Chain A
Amino acid sequence: MSDEDEIILSELDDEELVQQMFDDLYDGLKEEIEEGVNILLERGWQPYDILTKALVGGMTIVGYDFRDGILFVPEVLLAANAMKGGMAILKPLLAETGAPRVGKMVIGTVKGDIHDIGKNLVGMMMEGAGFEVVDLGINNAVEKYMEALETEAPDILGMSALLTTTMPYMKVVIDTMVEQGVRDDYIVLVGGAPLNEEFGKAIGADAYCRDAAVAVETAKEWVGRKHNQKTA
């Protein structure tokens, strides 16, 4: 791109800037996203609005194009990395301004599995959608999940696995929840490349989520349902 074509973010009006941030997220341009977030903050935007309208809006498009086979994992990771840059600026401000919280999720990859790209994407998209996310990291034994459920009291437990050999461990966790009489206290969502809907049902999860965007939609739907049950 020549100098005369260069876009000066600060010269764009709000609508153009948000649109440009969608493009920059799509292209994985972290510095531009950070700059865009700072400009919107200077213009008096609320952190929650920047998060939902600019960042999540942009990542949703990335999610759709990933689902439709237009974008692939490397591009999604670059976009996620750019969003992470924006989130790092917004996160402390969101805590200060008391942004609305949709629900809480404990998430981690199961014992024997160190593959956390999907789990990290889900965690980030969930945070973007207004969920509080407690990330247990990788290689989690059932005891770690159970302890986190007790101490964090989340709405949702999310489990992730990439390997055929590790995915059955999800059932170990769910069976333990059943044994301890707490299974119905939580929404259990599972995901990972070798999983499918049938597997999710067979192990007693509430839903299988094929990607991060689906995970967010599913989480919102189930949390909404849970709240409705409580108020009914």
Chain B
Amino acid sequence: MPLRDTELTEDGLSPSGVGRVLLIACGALAREILDLKAANGWTHLDLTCLPAKYHLTPDKITEGVRESVAKHRAAYEQIFVVYADCGTGGQLQAACDDLGVEMIPGPHCYSFFEGNARFAQHSETEITAFYLTDFLVRQFDAFVIKPMGLDRHPELRDMYFGNYEKLVYQAQTDDPDLTRKAEACAAMLGLSFERRFTGYGDLATTLERL
């Protein structure tokens, strides 16, 4: 069945039940993980996703991961959590330590897509950048416009984005339509635009060793 971004945002994804390693991931990473899995023949990996919208309320991520680990632990040899810290303030790492499962290192997906080491090098000089990934460009309305109320109150834009200077579109894939949409997102927010191809970065190298 084809993946639908709205379902990944709202409901997440159920596991297929095939494979010895279960990846518990953010819905925003489903396409990328399934693409890597298909390209590399990683049939030992199964994937379940929590709703991507948990990013709007990060305290739900830790709780959701705990519940998912408890639910699926008995059916798999190994569980790996494909979330970075993602605004949980260290609580997700503490929960993973407590549960005895590993998670992907880094502060957020913008960092591991670019490569944590490389992202860290420019993070101090690029504090006025607003990042979007492929998924976030596709789901810009669901993750930016609607939750920030900009559809109803566009006058709030500068209260949110007044301190930003540019939108960096971290492209995981080469898709001219997405690039055009990302550019339109930048214009809508009153920011300059930069496209930065990242591929899958540390996501690929991390999953490779499982």
Contact = CB atoms under 8 A, between A and B. Distances in A.
Q: Do A and B come from one complex?
A: yes
B199 interface: no
Interface of B is mostly: loop
Do most interface residues of chain A lie in helix, strand or loop, or is the interface mixed? loop
A194 B163 CA distance: 20
Interface size class of A (residues with CB under 8 A): 20 to 34
Contact of A196 (B89, B149, B156): B89
Contact of B156 (A74, A115, A167, A199): A74
Contact of B123 (A74, A115, A165): A165
A114 interface: yes
Contact of A194 (B87, B128, B159): B87
Interface residues of B, number: 24
Given A165-B123, A193-B58, A194-B58, A75 B89 contact: no
B201 interface: no
A74 B154 CA distance: 10
A117 B87 contact: no
B15 interface: no
B71 interface: no
B89 to A, nearest CB: 4
B17 interface: no
Interface of A: 28, 72-75, 77-78, 81, 112-117, 138-139, 163-165, 167, 193-196, 199
Interface of B: 58, 85, 87-91, 107-108, 123-124, 127-128, 147-150, 152-153, 156, 159-160, 163-164
